[in-house]
Amino acid sequence: MIDALLQAAAHLFTAQALAYLALGTAIGLTFGAVPGLGGTTALALLIPLTFGMDETAAIILVGGIMGAVPFGGSVSAILLNTPGVAPNAATCFDGYPLARQGKAGMAIGAAAAASSLGGLIGVLAMILVIPLAKRIVLLFGPPEFFMLAVLGLSAIAVSTGGKLLRGLISGGLGLILAFIGYDDISGGLRYTAGIEYLWDGVQLVPALIGLFAIAEMIHLSISGGTVARTDKAVTVSHVFDGVKAVFANLGTLLRGSAIGTFIGAVPGVGGTVASFLSYTLAQQISKDPESFGKGNIQGVIAPEAANNAKDGGSLLPTLAFGIPGSAEMAVFLGVLILHGLEPGPTLLLEHEDVIFGLVLALSLSCVLASAIGLLVAGQLARLTRTDVHYLVPVVIAVALVGAYALRSSLGDVLEALAFGVIGYLMVRFDYPRVTMIIALVLGGIAERGYHQSLMMSDGSFGIFFTRPVSNVLLALIVISVALPGLRLLTRTMRKRQMEEGSR
């Protein structure tokens, strides 16, 4: 292992390899920041371009892209409430309010530090856990997927900021939207209203672009002014305040990284679920949960750490068994196969130096992308002082191009516009958007896991309560649902004790 690591380092720290790494990082930052593109699109476009490259150089280039995409997406999420890629949607909830308060530099600094550290933790965990990878992956079947989805859905009760009824309505709408299209079990069409585009269901990325980017641009164009509502000048010093905030909230960073690594290792779940679970857990255990959604720096640290850490986790099933942990990893499999590297145990045994080259490239890319972000954060933060009437048409145009570029579908553009109107109405009437997104992401996973579990057990619900991992997840669900009530009870008791003590 040490020999392979040293050999990989020798390959990486050459002028040519570092140039490929820098190129991959720049591509990743760009594709991450443009709404709707992301790492999957970047890798898909680059697959034919890597055909004539050496396998090590190709892996380094790909590692640079994958490491930089998450932070690139956080920049647009913070500055413009526009998630560059789907997992960055959770960063919008507190990153954008910080930008509105003139603290965009601080939010970017926190995102940069959390992204790089989370990525390093995820990669380190991947290296340590590879010997146990098979057992971990095989622990998750349909019942566990169902329980994991329910755990995410239970977070709706605590992610509404005191608007429980409106949050439940929003979450219910998200669940309804999640069930549109083909039924994965029966194969029948549901709720499509005869529209062929809806046969494949509601597409997540155009929905996110509409709910956040376009909805916010509509809102800004009506209200006028600038993104930042403060007269304070945006200074570079705020960036390092954000970096300090990450080290002041190490618990949030470590929890987010652990969640990202764990969720990333579960095939088919992905970074969006990891980011939202990390965000809602940080809100649940916070001493001031009401501050989330209003500019709490922990709301930036938690999802960004999980978002970058999930890449390390996703590598486990991808490299060890050829099971992609996400869409991005599915495209990455294509890169490996193109260069004659067959994923599986043989890859780990015969091409260990290539694997460690990818690990080092991914780690350095996380750090390099964050360093670039810190260097230009002051200039990027000044975007929030731009008059919205100049900003709105540019952002909407880029957002719609991003929505189209993902699948070259005009239907995705129309969906983004429709969700933009829905998102604006939710902002206008103060309905939380986070609950709709959580339900939209997890609804399909929950339904699929539920039906598959009952098919496995011949209709017996006992399958959900007789498996160890399911029981652990069930306990977490109970804690998640009970925690808000316990917190309210504790506050009531403290208030009574203070009133009695003052008499």
Is the pLDDT assigned to residue 482 strictly greater than 80? no
CA distances 31 to 27, 75, 266, Å, are 6, 12, 25
What is the predicted pLDDT for the residue at 425? 93
Between 198 and 84, the more confident residue is 198
Q: DSSP 3-state helix, strand, coil percentages of the chain (rounded to 5)? A: 80, 0, 20
Digit-coded pLDDT (tens) for 344-358? 656 666 666 667 777
Residue found under tokens 């965009």? 104
Between 414 and 54, the more confident residue is 414
Distance between terminal CA atoms of the chain? Answer: 69
Secondary structure (DSSP) of 456-498: HTTT-GGGGTSSHHHHHHHHHHHHHHHHHHHHHHHHHHHHHHH
Q: How large is the average pLDDT for residues 188-206? A: 85
Rounded Cα–Cα distance for residues 325 and 267 (Å): 4
Give 386's pLDDT tier (boundaries 50, 70, 90): low
Q: Are 318 and 329 in contact (CB under 8 A)?
A: yes
Q: For the ranges 177-191, 307-321, 470-484, which has the lowest average pLDDT?
A: 307-321
Between 379 and 444, the more confident residue is 444
What is the predicted pLDDT for the residue at 180? 92
Percent with pLDDT over 70 in the chain: 77
Question: How large is the angle between the packed helices 434-456 and 271-285, nearest 10 degrees?
Answer: 110
Please give, one letter per residue, the 3-state secondary structure of 327-360.
HHHHHHHHHHHHCCCCCCHHHHHHCHHHHHHHHH
Number of structural domains in the chain:
1
Residue found under tokens 């509601």? 202
Rounded Cα–Cα distance for residues 319 and 441 (Å): 26
Rounded Cα–Cα distance for residues 172 and 160 (Å): 13
Between 203 and 131, the more confident residue is 203
Q: How large is the average pLDDT for residues 168-176? A: 87
Rounded Cα–Cα distance for residues 300 and 112 (Å): 10
Q: How large is the average pLDDT for residues 219-244? A: 65
Q: For the ranges 10-14, 220-224, 317-321, 450-454, which has the lowest average pLDDT?
A: 317-321
Between 230 and 255, the more confident residue is 255
Q: How large is the average pLDDT for residues 33-37? A: 63
Rounded Cα–Cα distance for residues 32 and 115 (Å): 13
What is the predicted pLDDT for the residue at 236? 43
What is the predicted pLDDT for the residue at 417? 93
What is the predicted pLDDT for the residue at 146? 87
Give 166's pLDDT tier (boundaries 50, 70, 90): confident
Digit-coded pLDDT (tens) for 306-323? 888 877 777 776 676 555
- Tell me how far the alpha carbon of residue 339 is from its chain's centroid: 29
Helices within 195-270 (DSSP H only): 204-208, 215-223, 237-248, 250-264
CA distances 23 to 29, 190, 364, Å, are 10, 45, 13
Q: Are 375 and 79 in contact (CB under 8 A)?
A: no
pTM as predicted: 0.65
Between 51 and 408, the more confident residue is 408
Tokens of 345: 């145990």
Average pLDDT, the chain: 77
User: What is the helix (H) or strand (E) element at residue 182, kind and residue range?
Assistant: strand 181-182
Q: How large is the average pLDDT for residues 220-243? A: 63
Q: How large is the average pLDDT for residues 295-307? A: 87
What is the predicted pLDDT for the residue at 233? 46
For the chain, the C-alpha Rg in angstroms (whole number) is 22
Give 1's pLDDT tier (boundaries 50, 70, 90): low
Q: How large is the average pLDDT for residues 199-227? A: 78
Is the pLDDT assigned to residue 500 strictly greater than 60? yes
What is the predicted pLDDT for the residue at 421? 93
Q: How large is the average pLDDT for residues 434-447? A: 79
Domain that holds residue 191: 2-227+234-501
Is the pLDDT assigned to residue 430 strictly greater than 90? no
Percent with pLDDT over 90 in the chain: 4
